[in-house]
Structure 1
């Protein structure tokens, strides 16, 4: 499972972006946006969610009480999936 879940260069991108102010880029997003995050994520702080939601027009945040960074697996995966499907269907992205 660890090999399947590896982010490879994604991890380095995360580290770089956590040190960069991307406020202008976030403000330029016009697409419907759902931000899903765990309040127990020790890799990405909740302040990232709060900043993104405050900058992206009409962004929605779903903060889960899941166990950590991999919110799409485990006990809370159903809540992640349900919220994603609701968001997609309500924005006519998925039917």
Structure 2
């Protein structure tokens, strides 16, 4: 499975994400995706959503800056000022677990 993904639509203003965790619960596979620009922007998605929805492209697609980081990101950050980040926990077998 590819670790690097590009969203077809901005998520909180950002489009490039890294798959950092994969969990399996009751036969369902869930992925934790984190923005490469801002770790505060992370989402959970299912295998079906990631692979078959048409909302994601494997790998990072070169995009103009105004499409890669949109005004929505600035708006999101101004709303979140002063709030703390949720912690992200990685599985021991994650390629991003460096501890």
TM band (smaller chain): under 0.3
Q: By percentage of residues, which structure has more helix?
A: 1
Q: Which has the higher strand share?
A: 2
Q: TM-score, normalised by structure 2?
A: 0.22
Calculate the TM-score normalised by the size of structure 1.
0.23
